[in-house]
């Protein structure tokens, strides 16, 4: 796969709540793979907030199964997923496709039926693309981030300007 194609999400929305779930169903999608940090909640949060619960509720109400796919350590991610009452893949190693593929296996779903939703090009989008999963990028949930994510956001701005998304 061309590296630049791997950096471009299939769709971009402001937030998870703005995703047109009916359109995804029409495309035959049945499972959403969700990033947590700055997609469903505050980066490095120990517990999910109201927004995360609202997103998962909307996903389920629209008939989708969902799974948390996180690069975070297992204890934090697993606790968050348990509170949200959804399965979880930890240490996903995004942008490598390994974690996404583990989630597909866990959810018993083929790649063409899944959607990965996340806020970062160099982790979420690329992992989804490398796993042949439809990708949706959302804007970051909270403004505060650790220094290395701030650096990646600068590179993302360049990629987004070149790719016009």
CATH of residue 110's domain is 3.40.50.1000
Distance from C-alpha of 93 to C-alpha of 83, rounded to nearest angstrom = 23
pTM of full prediction above 0.75: yes
Q: What is the pLDDT of residues 47-88, one digit of tens each?
A: 999 999 999 999 999 999 999 999 988 889 999 999 999 999
- Summarised one tens digit per residue, pLDDT across range 133-162 is 999 999 988 767 666 666 676 667 777 677
Note down the domain range covering 144: 3-163
What pLDDT is stored for residue 154 in this prediction?
66
SS3 65: strand
d(CA 19, CA 81): 21
d(CA 30, CA 71): 23
For residue 103 the two structure tokens come to 């989630």
**Into how many domains does the chain fold?**
1
């Amino acid at each position: 796969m061309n590296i630049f194609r791997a950096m471009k999400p299939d769709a971009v929305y402001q937030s998870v709540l703005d995703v047109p779930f009916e359109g995804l169903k029409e495309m035959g999608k049945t499972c959403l793979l969700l990033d947590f940090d700055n997609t469903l909640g505050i980066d490095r949060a120990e517990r999910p907030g109201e927004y995360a619960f609202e997103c998962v509720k909307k996903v389920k109400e629209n008939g989708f199964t969902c799974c948390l796919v996180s690069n975070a350590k297992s204890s934090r991610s697993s606790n968050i997923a348990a509170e949200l009452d959804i399965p979880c893949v930890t240490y996903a190693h995004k942008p490598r496709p390994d974690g996404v593929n583990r989630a597909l296996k866990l959810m018993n779903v083929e790649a063409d039926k899944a959607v990965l939703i996340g806020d970062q090009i160099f982790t979420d989008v690329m992992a989804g693309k490398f796993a042949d999963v439809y990708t949706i990028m959302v804007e970051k949930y909270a403004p505060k981030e650790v220094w290395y994510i701030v650096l990646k956001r600068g590179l993302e701005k360049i990629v987004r300007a070149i790719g016009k998304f």
